[in-house]
Amino acid sequence: MEIIVLVAIISSFFMGLAIGGSTVAPSFAPVNSSGPSSVLRLALLAGIFAFIGAVHQGGNVTSMVGTGISSEAITLLQGAAILFVAAFLVILSVLTDIPMPTAFTVIGAVIGSTLAMGNQVEWVSVFQIVGYWIFTPFAALLMGYTLAYVLKKYLPEKGSEKKIRYLLYLSGAYVAYTAGGSAVGLAVGPLDALEVSVNYLLIFGGFSILAGAWLYSPRIINVVSFDYANLGPRRSIAALTSAGVLAQVGIFLSVPISFNLAIIASVIGSGLIEGKSNMEGNKIFSTVSAWVGAFFTSVILTYLIIIAFSL
């Protein structure tokens, strides 16, 4: 039993580190690409805002992951299996460059473990989550286009440098804040079986996300900055703000979203203002296929692990 608890806690902390490094990091990349900045300071700011978001509004998604999908409370074995599979897929994503959205893998793992335990899946909640995932790219595309149009019309690049930089900081802080609130439940929701106060879980998850942002964001911010430099500051603001708003709506609905999904769609939408898109059709198809594959892979792997340990 102690080993299962240890695996669950370590996997949860690793998930928080991964979320901090991958999901939170891009939020301040446009600031770095717009001019000289201290990358370490940007990384720390991203982590702090993510921590605040996790503690302040992470309860909804945490509750959905921990108790909203399975008809029965998640056991320690389930929690450890869910987090282990999700963490494994994150590592696989890093090693192979195959995108494995954390939201997809964790929700899929919860479903797989629930089926393996012989419990009833709350399909209404699952359909609500999947429905919002399907809605997200279309909404992000429209919002990205609209915001890019407004910014291009009312905020010319020449003469508005200070305003644009201020908006970059503001959008970065907002995205980091919503990322913490949306994603912390993916890291700590499966720990519900520990019967620890949700406030303590949110603090633990928020700290692991902050640590991930602090440790890994500097490198990722530098790398991602080149992508945002190609977008330009106004399109960056439009893309990040769109993702942040959709994540905030998801938090109210207790639905975690994939920021990659939202940002890619909003980047495409903002690019249509210039009559172009940064994404090719084949790349979009392969990315979406990888996301769907990640979801079903997590279902199958978690199901098999639970069955194996139950024999």
Residue 228 has pLDDT above 70, yes or no: no
For residues 271 and 242, give the distance between their C-alpha atoms in angstroms, rounded to a whole number: 13
Helix (H) or strand (E) holding 123, with range, is helix 123-154
Would you state the pLDDT for residue 259? 74
Residue 158 has pLDDT above 90, yes or no: no
For residues 203 and 190, give the distance between their C-alpha atoms in angstroms, rounded to a whole number: 15
| 107-136 confidence digits (pLDDT tens) | 999 999 999 999 999 999 999 999 999 999
Which amino acid, one-letter code, is at 100?
M
Would you state the pLDDT for residue 18? 83
For the chain, what is the mean pLDDT?
84
Residue 33 has pLDDT above 80, yes or no: no
The residue with greater pLDDT, 271 or 24, is: 24
The domains of the chain are located at 2-310
Lowest mean pLDDT among 65-79, 115-129, 155-169, 215-229: 215-229
Task: Please give the average per-residue pLDDT across 215-243, as a whole number.
Answer: 72
Closest CA to 238 of 139, 138, 151, 297: 151
In percent, the amount of the chain with pLDDT more than 90 equals 41
pTM of the model: 0.87
Q: How confident is the model at residue 294 (pLDDT cuts 50, 70, 90)?
A: confident
Would you state the pLDDT for residue 119? 93
Lowest mean pLDDT among 165-169, 177-181, 246-250: 165-169
Tell me how crowded residue 79 is: count the other CB atoms within 10 A of its CB.
29
Lowest mean pLDDT among 32-46, 117-131, 153-167, 220-234: 220-234
Q: How confident is the model at residue 302 (pLDDT cuts 50, 70, 90)?
A: very high
Task: Please give the average per-residue pLDDT across 210-217, as a whole number.
Answer: 82
Q: Look at residue 117 and give its three-state secondary structure.
A: coil
Would you state the pLDDT for residue 288? 78
Half-sphere exposure of 279 (CA within 13 A, CB side): 20
Would you state the pLDDT for residue 240? 86
For residues 268 and 220, give the distance between their C-alpha atoms in angstroms, rounded to a whole number: 21
Question: CA 98: distance to chain centroid?
Answer: 16
Would you state the pLDDT for residue 224? 56
- Specify which residues 121 forms β-bridges with: 70
Lowest mean pLDDT among 90-94, 128-132, 218-222: 218-222
Would you state the pLDDT for residue 126? 94
